[in-house]
Every structure is written in C-alpha cells, then in structure tokens.
Amino acid sequence: MDLKEEALEIHEKAKGKLSINSKFKVKERRYLSLLYTPGVAEPCKVIAQDKSAVYKYTGKGNLVAVVTDGSAVLGLGDIGPEASLPVMEGKALLFKEFGGVDAMPICIDSKEVEDIVKTTVLISPGFGGINLEDISAPRCFEIERQLKEKLDIPVFHDDQHGTAIVVHAALINALKVVCKQIQEVKIVINGGGAAGTAVTNQLINAGAKNIIVCDKNGALLDEPSFIATHHEELASRTNPNRESGPLSQIIMGADVFIGVSKGNLVSQEMVVAMNKDAIILAMANPTPEIMPDIAKAGGARVIATGRSDFPNQVNNLLAFPGIFKGVFKCKAPQITTEMKLAAANAIASMIPGEALNEENIIPSPLNKEVVDVVANAIEETYENSNC
C-alpha cells in the first residue's frame, strides 16, 4: 500500500487522532462527590475570588488551542475549517507526544480577522496558550498582533515563528560549517508571506545586516509606489543596498539562500552564481526550491530541506512543543524575541562541534531530547528577563 492509501486508512480506522481522557476513574460515589458535585464547588469558589488560581486547579496551564480558519493548509491552500481538522489533530498529537502539552483543535468558520480575533479572545479563559496555524498572510499578521495585545497568555503563529526558529537554528550551524558570520553574509529569502516575514525578523534580531526578500515580482524594495502595504515594513528593514530585479539576479553573490515559498524556483546556474561555500535552505514542501543533488552540483556546500528523505530536515516539530512546554513551565505571559532566539540557539546546540558537518546541521525531528533543551532555554530566558 502506498503512503497516500495508508494515510487514508489509518485516519478512517482511528476516527480522529485525539482522545480526551479523564485523569481519574469514577468507580465510587466519593469520586463523583470530589470531582463533580458537591466537591467541585471548592476550586470554583477559590477561582471566583482569585482568577489566577485557575492555573492551580485546572488544566488551563498546560492546554494550547490550535486555532485555524483553514485558509492556508499545507500546500493545499484555502480548504476551509472542516478539511483542516486532520492537520490540526495532527498538530495537537505532536504537541502531546513531543511536549507533553495538551492541545485542542479550534477550527473557525470565518475568514474575517475580527471574527477570528473575537472568537479566540472569547474562548481564551479555558486555554493557557494560543497556537495559530495555517492562516493565510497578510491576515495572520493582524490576527496575531491583535491577540497579543488583547490576551495575557502566549500567542504563537507557528507558520511564522516556528519556521523562523528552525531555519535560524539550521543557519547557525550551517554558518559554523562554512566559517562565516551572520553579520557579514548576504542572505536572500524567497517568499514574503508569513514564513518569509518571520524568518527575516528572526535573522535581523540575530544580527543579520544584509537580507534581501524576493517575492514573485523580484526583490522587495522600500518604494511605496509599487509595494503592497503588508510588505512595507519588511522592505524598510531589508535590502540595504537597494538591489532590484528578479531572484535569478538578486541571488548572485549571495552566501545564503532561504526558500519559504514554492518548489522548483532555483536552477543549478543560480547556485553557481552564488558566493563560495553557499548555504541553501530550501523549505518548500513537498518539492523544495531546488533538489539537493542539483544544488550540490552547482557548488552549494550546505543544503537543508523540509523533507525526511534528505539529510538536514528542518522541521517545526523541533520548536513548537518545547516552546509551549517552556512558557507553560515558567508561566510566561508571552513568547518574546529573546525566547525565539534562545530556542534557535538551543536547537543548534544539539549538534555538538565534533558531530557537525555538511550533512548534519540539525537534530532529527524525532529526537525527543530537543524538547527539554528548548523548554529550558525558554524558561531561562524568561527568568533572566525578570532579574
């Protein structure tokens, strides 16, 4: 049976991938009295007096809402809230299996920013964190911004920040392999959507000085006359040398290419035109921007993709379970820039110097040791910020 058939069969047999279970067996009346009426009134009364006690007596502090509108699901696009549910269940499954974090899909039947924000705010009392998932740009930026402003629990758009963290982690180690500094390299990012924007911000926060973002019209340039509103800020923070033209031109002399858009966009010739010891992080899935063998033939030194059948799989699974495990441990009210940088460094640190080479820049997504290293980095960062 091929993977597609088996995937359908396994989903049908299980009828969903999640199960909500009681932590207690209710075998005698006393348990009913303790866990339900009349005993349950006691924690209710304490929380009614002091809202923060909800973390002490309920599961709120370990529960993430995986919120989507189904508008940008995998490479499938806008398939709607029902069709997105298998992905959201999968995400919740990974939260639990890797991070020990409870997560619940919330598939919202509206594409309006106002509806998505209001619904998420209104259901937030029962959740300890919000993971936004597969919401298309540019709405995802505004939704995240408003939720961060309105909520006192962590809000994290994984397609943005999860991707940014794992790409950054891969880049940290790739740069070590080629002995270059992030401050000095020319980085070309293809894709100005959710992931491209977040990767750009993360790398600027990490010290990158020369990033050029390309979309389908070529290099983003800070010229109001032809730039989309949601690209204005991105353009103002990038392309310091005001390069213009298509990707094939911009990539000339680049040290790093990061693809977070569509597959099959980069040719061998384009890699040949890059600087010596080029780094290619081709994240498009399932077809990367360039296949590793072609990039290699063009002279690239370090190549990573999102795929499990090539070396250096860069996968968000390395980030999100540890990030929420971390903020939940320390009860941080938000996920800060410093935390995202610390998470990337923590993931990169999982490959010690002696193991580091072109084909081993990032741990396997299935390495369950990563989650605690990330969680501890988050916790430490939060505690230092409160000193």
Q: Round to whole Å and give the CA distance between 373 and 371.
A: 6
Where in 290-319 is the site for a copy of itself (CB under 8 A)?
308, 317
Tokens of residue 22, six digits: 């009681």
Q: Is 359 in the site for a copy of itself (CB under 8 A)?
A: no
Q: Which among 25, 45, 51, 91 is annotated as catalytic?
A: 91
CA of residue 163 relative to chain centroid, distance: 4
For a copy of itself, the closer of residues 38 and 224 by Cβ is 38
Q: Round to whole Å and give the CA distance between 282 and 171.
A: 12
Q: Is 264 in the site for a copy of itself (CB under 8 A)?
A: no
Where in 119-148 is the site for a copy of itself (CB under 8 A)?
119, 121-126
Residue 156: phi, psi to the nearest 5?
Answer: -145, 120
Q: Round to whole Å and give the CA distance between 208 and 158.
A: 22
> Of 220, 365, 371, 379, which lies in the binding site for a copy of itself, with binding defined by CB under 8 A?
365
Tokens of residue 51, six digits: 């809202």
> Of 71, 72, 108, 381, which lies in the binding site for a copy of itself, with binding defined by CB under 8 A?
108
Q: Is 342 in the site for a copy of itself (CB under 8 A)?
A: no
CB neighbour list of residue 148: distance below 8 Å, 6 or more residues apart: 155, 334
Q: Is 330 in the site for a copy of itself (CB under 8 A)?
A: no
> Least distance (Å) from a copy of itself to the CB of residue 226?
34
DSSP codes, 144-158: HHHHHHH-SS-EEEI
Tokens of residue 293, six digits: 């063998």
For a copy of itself, the closer of residues 104 and 137 by Cβ is 104
81: which strand partners? none
> Least distance (Å) from a copy of itself to the CB of residue 112?
10
> Least distance (Å) from a copy of itself to the CB of residue 111?
11
36 is catalytic: yes
The span of 24-32, 139-147, 157-165, 292-300 binding a copy of itself (CB under 8 A) equals: 24-32
Side chain identity, residue 321:
P
The span of 13-21, 235-243, 254-262, 275-283 binding a copy of itself (CB under 8 A) equals: 13-21
Q: Is 240 in the site for a copy of itself (CB under 8 A)?
A: no
382 is catalytic: no
> Least distance (Å) from a copy of itself to the CB of residue 201?
24
The span of 93-101, 136-144, 291-299, 377-385 binding a copy of itself (CB under 8 A) equals: 93-101
Instruction: Indicate the burial class of 218 (C-beta count within 10 angstroms; 0-12, 13-18, 19 or more).
Output: middle
Return the SS3 of 160: helix
CA of residue 183 relative to chain centroid, distance: 23
Q: Is 369 in the site for a copy of itself (CB under 8 A)?
A: no
Q: Find, among 210, 199, 267, the residue nearest to 243 by Cα.
A: 210
Q: Is 54 in the site for a copy of itself (CB under 8 A)?
A: yes
Catalytic residue positions, numbered = 36, 91
